[in-house]
Amino acid sequence: MYNIKKVGMLLLYLALSACSVKHVKPRVAHLQPAEYTHLSGWNEDKHLEALEAFKLSCRAVMRYSPDRKISKATELGGRIEDWLPACREATSNGIFTNYQAQQFFEKWFTPYKITDFERSHKGKFTGYFELELQGSRKKNHIYKYPVYKRPPNLQSIKGGHHISHAAINNGALANKNLEIAWVADRARLFFMQIQGSGVIKLKEGGEMKVGYDGQNGFGYTHIGPIFKKYTKDRIRSPMDMMEWMHRNPRVGKEIMEHNKSYVFFKELSGAGPIGAQGIPLMAERSMAVDHGLYPYSAPIWLETTTPKTTSRSQNTYNRLLIAQDTGGAIKGAIRGDVFYGRGARAEEKASFMNNHGSCFVLFPKNVSVPAKYRAKK
């Protein structure tokens, strides 16, 4: 299930940093077979966690016919039948230790060092998270910002000025029985629209998971550069943006409405959030990748650094993640978005994650890499 999420935080960060893409870079990957000894820190990772994430991907893989390609979007990865032996072992009732999980990946997969169209092994890695909001099923003086479900006539009114972000904020959809919840923070609601999903912790008890269910027909406008027109405060991350707009509600509303796009939500049940592969994401074991290059389910060995935040220093960050999501800004051979989970810690880490690094992709040993992707020796 694809939604507009995922890359929203990244897009804002890039805009905030005044980094604009003037030329589209070719989506080219060059793969060179490697040994596990080439993977820095491989023996120190918690492979059992990665195996649990891989099992979830296997459940999606095993629903398809064996002769189908693992991905309709890329030539890499082979066919479903190439992945079935590993998936059957992973999803058996056997109990793995961490060392056995490491042996599992070494038994079934070959790692490939990735270089891009410039033959560089360095790329950019960012983060995203599941946003939390405080809310209620009923409106009051605290919970006064509506979370709207999809209007039944959305297709016929898309793109009209009467359904722009500003028009909706000013009551265009009020009293139409479209409110599924009310939240206390308009800025966080705005960012939930960018993410495309979130969790509302209800005043009545419990929580409501919501997911993307349509959009008003206007394209997304980056608000990062707009901040410079309104404040000289140092805005370094999406967290800073949310806090500043919440502290300055009148100006914050004006900034938000420079972006005419508005997202509608539906209430979800079960585990979440759900990535583009259609399975629940695991914190710091799921990653969004360029699905035009890499198939979902592919293990990715990441070598980068942790985000340097206001409270945390930067350290080595080498770990095995599984490709289970994608996004509009996640393009290129060495480009990934790490899912950090939910809560204040995840929000901080994801908001500040914007680091260079390198990676390896792991494919089943019986998968042949097409000639166009093989690195020249």
pTM here? 0.81
| Residue 120 DSSP code | -
Looking at the fold, whether 334 and 217 belong to one and the same domain comes out as no
pLDDT tens track, the chain, 377 positions: 334 344 444 444 434 443 333 444 567 899 999 999 999 999 999 999 999 999 999 999 999 999 999 999 999 999 999 999 999 999 998 899 999 999 999 999 999 999 999 999 999 999 989 999 999 999 999 999 999 999 999 999 999 999 999 999 999 999 999 999 999 999 999 989 887 789 999 999 999 999 888 899 998 888 888 888 888 888 877 888 899 999 999 999 999 999 999 999 999 887 778 888 989 999 999 999 999 999 999 999 999 999 887 777 889 999 999 999 987 778 999 999 999 999 889 988 998 899 999 999 999 999 999 999 998 86
What pLDDT is stored for residue 21 in this prediction?
38
Q: Is there a single domain that holds both residue 113 and residue 205?
A: no
The answer on 143 and 210 residing in a single domain is yes
Residues 291 and 338 in one domain: yes
SS3 186: helix
Q: Give the pair of three-digit tokens for residue 43.
A: 């023996």
> Exposed (0-12), middle (13-18) or buried (19+): which is 171, by Cβ within 10 Å?
exposed
User: For position 295, which CATH number holds?
Assistant: 2.40.40.10
Structural domains counted in the chain: 2
Expressed as residue numbers, the domain containing 156 is 130-268
* Max CA separation in the chain (angstroms): 66
Nearest to 179 by CA among 159, 208, 218, 217: 208
Distance CA 292, CA 295 (A): 8
Instruction: Tell me how far apart the alpha carbons of residues 299 and 322 are, in angstroms, rounded to a whole number.
Output: 4
Domain boundary among 247, 268, 289: 268
Does the residue 6 lie in any domain?
A: no
Q: Return the beta strands (E) in the chain as ranges.
A: 30-33, 109-115, 123-136, 145-148, 179-183, 197-202, 207-215, 263-268, 286-288, 299-305, 316-325, 335-342, 354-364
Please check whether residues 79 and 137 belong to one and the same domain. no
pLDDT of residue 231: 87
Supply 69's token pair.
């390609």
Q: How many CB atoms lie within 10 A of CB 368?
A: 9
Same domain, 245 and 167: yes
